Amino acid sequence: MRISSFQFIQRNLDNISARTSQANTQLGQMSSGKRVEKPSDDPVAANGILNYKQELRKIGQYNTNINLAENRLRREETGLTSGENITQQVKEIMLKANNPAIGPQERDALKSELQSRLDEMLDIANAKDEFGQAIFGGYQTDSSPFTRQPNGDITYSGDSGEREMVIGNSVKVELNHSGEQVFGGVPNPRGDFTMNYNLVSGSREDQLQVESANITDRGNFTDAHPYTIEFMDTTPATGDIAYRVTDNNGAVSPAPPAAPTAYTPGNTVTVDGVDIVIKGEAKVGDKIELNSTVTDGTGQDELGVFDILNSAKEWLETDGHNPTGQAELADILNELDAMGEHFTRVRADTGNRMQRLDNQKEIHAEMDLTLNKLRSGMEDLDYAQATGEFSQTLVALQATQTMFGKIQGMSLFNYI
């Protein structure tokens, strides 16, 4: 086959160009530290690298979500801790106010202190996060969920929603507890009803008190509250105490002409499917009324934080140094204990959610390390191998250039 000088020169130039391009590519890889800079460098590896990078970006977003969730839950935890402290402070105020020796000025100071604690609790309930969203508003985050009414009552305008944040593949964490749950879900220490006392004056060896009032037979429960328990003389009069129970329809138990039931402290009084346990010394003329704000047949088994605090405030504004006041105070103190325990339980659940964030963060850290190691194995350059290959390329390039220079200068005319 005949080869012209032009073809010979062109082939050698192409060879030099290819070697030069190879050297430049290797030099670029050594500069960037990447073996695969574009899909054409290694199509199979490039596809794997792309998948690893997508997973790493997802982990980065999950970690961002975890940080946001952690900030939100820490703010909630701070509010709940403050709620626990305020509850304890209110209880101390009530115990101080129960001292008959304090004067009007000291009592007024305690009233003012309790009002400050109530205001602080309202501030906690309306707390916002770093984005200006209400923490305890459920899904309603754009406005303050709790509002003070002209009569002093505090109402909730949020909902029961709990927002969620995705922190992993098929893993979510709740960002909040709703205000309905936190400030309206205090377990009623008396069961399913609240009490109003109207007790006659006079000293007693043991304070009359409803220990519990629970709906135990919902099939026979007619929800005919309020139930009024009235204490009277036995018939015929013996000096002992008996009682009758009247519901809101006027039905009396035991119904006349049956005699009133003899009162024995600690015994269970059953009426309309409700078991009532009363303890303490009763006197003729004492009345206890069982109430519920719930009318769906379930009973009032939960109380509101602000209802409890307003009850404490109302007690401070009256003379509580009488049998009625002492019975009311005992209920308020029990409700404050239940309120503090409720805040503690919600805070513990918040802590569990934060622990879930920490666990997920560790999982992501381990996965990030693994994926980066796999990606690095495909994408990153082995400098020892690359240096050797680059040296070989340079030697080959130099040899090609030298040989081409020598052959290019050769001619038959030199030998004629």
Amino acid making up residue 360: Q
266 in Cβ contact with 209 (< 8 Å): no
Query: Tokens 């103190």 appear where?
Result: 333
What are the CA-CA distances from residue 21 to residues 81, 155, 369 (Å)?
A: 68, 76, 35
The pLDDT-based confidence of 383 (bands split at 50, 70, 90) is very low
High-pLDDT (> 70) share of the chain, %: 77
With the C-alpha atoms ordered 38, 40, 42, 46, is the resulting torsion angle positive or negative?
A: positive
pTM confidence score? 0.80
CB 129 within 8 A of CB 137: no
CB 231 within 8 A of CB 284: yes
What confidence score (pLDDT) does residue 256 get?
Answer: 82
Q: Is the pLDDT of residue 414 over 60?
A: no
Residue 83 has a pLDDT of 95
Per-residue model confidence as pLDDT tens digits over 141-170:
888 999 999 988 899 998 888 999 999 888
Top pLDDT among 130 and 303 is at 303
Task: Indicate the SS3 state at residue 121.
Answer: helix
Contact 315, 332 (CB under 8 A): yes
Question: Torsion angle, CA of 215/218/223/226, rounded to 10 degrees?
Answer: -20
| Domains by residue range for the chain, with CATH | 54-187+336-366 (1.20.1330.10), 194-293 (no CATH)
Identify which has the larger pLDDT, 294 or 280: 280
Q: For the stretch 298-315, what's the b/e string if a residue is b when 16 or more beta carbons lie within 10 angstroms of its beta carbon?
A: ebbbbbbbbbbbbbbbeb
Residue 366 has pLDDT above 60, yes or no: yes
In the sheet that holds 209-215, the strands lie side by side as: 209-215, 274-279, 268-271
Q: Which of 48-62, 244-258, 283-297 has the lowest mean pLDDT?
A: 48-62
Asked if 269 and 245 touch (Cβ cutoff 8 Å), the reply is yes
